[in-house]
Amino acid sequence: MMTPERLDHFMARANAAYYAARNPFADFTTAPEISQIFGELLGAWAAVVWAQMGQPDPVLLVEAGPGRGTLMADVLRTVARVAPEFAAALRLHLIETSPRLRVEQAQRLPGATWHARLEDVPPGPTILLANEFLDALPIRQVTRIAGVWTERHVAGGAFTAHPCALDLGDAPDGAVCEIGEAARDWTAQLAARLMRNGGAGLIIDYGFTRPQHQDTLQALRGGKPVSPLVEPGTADLTAHVDFAALAQAAHTEGAYVWGPVGQGDFLTNLGLRTRVENLARQHPAGAAEFAAGADRLASPSQMGTLFKALALTNRATLPPGF
């Protein structure tokens, strides 16, 4: 009989093994892999935010969980074109634990500096981007069984229920409360950093804005859902991000919080339509692909509403897109 492991510990271990050994992009795709326009608009966002910050030089441009480096490559190409002074001032720092993905990132992003954790990034005015990073951080699940809250552990590929000290109020049997402690603590840390050093953070991920009593833990292998509990390390484990909890955590540190707004609205506010039209004019052969990519990112039935953008700043200046 295996010793039951608390779900967040299980998830942390499974994802560390998964990202260290596998190519995640064989199992799922992300916005920057769908269309170059995503990174281009985020590059424009960063350039405007840098101007709002008073054009600090040097400035740290930080990405958490850069994946294949695609998003940052699109950001840097745009920045070089629209804001060459920002391009010259920025120092690129990447937060990545997977040695394998660091190798891929180095090919696309020469001159970057890598860190395992946000705490390790040196101090200084910061613009941070995090796309589909927080959904991979571990969650706890507390579930109501026979009128009491119990905490989910994992043993032998199945959930086991354990006594739980948390009192989450009344709820019907079967209700599942997810507690994204790691994402919340990370966001608090980002906010504290912005308050110390100045700057802005942009978090984009899929998730919810009000608490819901639902199990959102999922695993994808080869684009198909599989059991998150068996064969840990062979599939990417994610959970919906609790945006209200992130906003609260940032607020507690004194940061200004903008959004969340749906990804569709956010990208549209940043000029998605105009960018699609310009690209189609420049590359007529790719016009249909640009339009399809933009539709997938922004349409409410696809990624436009489920995915949300949240920004944190140290000053009361409205960042673009919100």
Backbone φ and ψ for 159, nearest 5 degrees, come out as -75, 145
Selected from 56, 66, 259, 304, the binder of ligand SAH by CB under 6 A is 66
Is the omega angle on the peptide bond into residue 99 within 30 degrees of 0, that is, cis?
no
Q: Does 8 interact with ligand SAH (rule: CB under 6 A)?
A: no
H/E/C letters for each residue in 70-98?
HHHHHHHHHHHHHCHHHHHHEEEEEECCC
Nearest to 126 by CA among 83, 89, 78: 89
Q: Is 42 in the site for ligand SAH (CB under 6 A)?
A: no
**Cis amide bond preceding 66, omega within 30:** no
* Nearest alpha-carbon partner for 291 in 274, 266, 309, 308: 274
Distance from C-alpha of 23 to C-alpha of 42, rounded to nearest angstrom: 25
Q: Is 101 in the site for ligand SAH (CB under 6 A)?
A: yes
Query: Taking the complex as a whole, how short is the minimal distance between the CB of residue 171 and ligand SAH, in angstroms?
Result: 30
The nearest distance, CB 224 to ligand SAH, in angstroms, is 18
Q: Based on the shown chain and the rule CB under 6 A, indicate whether residue 242 belongs to the binding site for ligand SAH.
A: no
Q: Tell which one of 8, 40, 74, 96 touches ligand SAH (CB under 6 A).
A: 96
189 binds ligand SAH (CB under 6 A): no
Under rule CB under 6 A, residue 15 binds ligand SAH? yes
- What span, in angstroms and rounded, lies between the C-alpha atoms of 96 and 118? 9
3-state secondary structure of 259: strand
Residue from 36, 78, 98, 268 in contact with ligand SAH (CB under 6 A): 98
Does 128 interact with ligand SAH (rule: CB under 6 A)? Answer: no
Q: Provide the minimum distance between the beta carbon of 285 and ligand SAH in the complex, in angstroms, as a whole number.
A: 25
From 48-56, 61-69, 210-218, 285-293, span contacting ligand SAH (CB under 6 A): 61-69
Residues that bind ligand SAH (CB under 6 A): 15, 19, 24, 30, 32-33, 65-67, 71, 95-98, 101, 131-133, 136
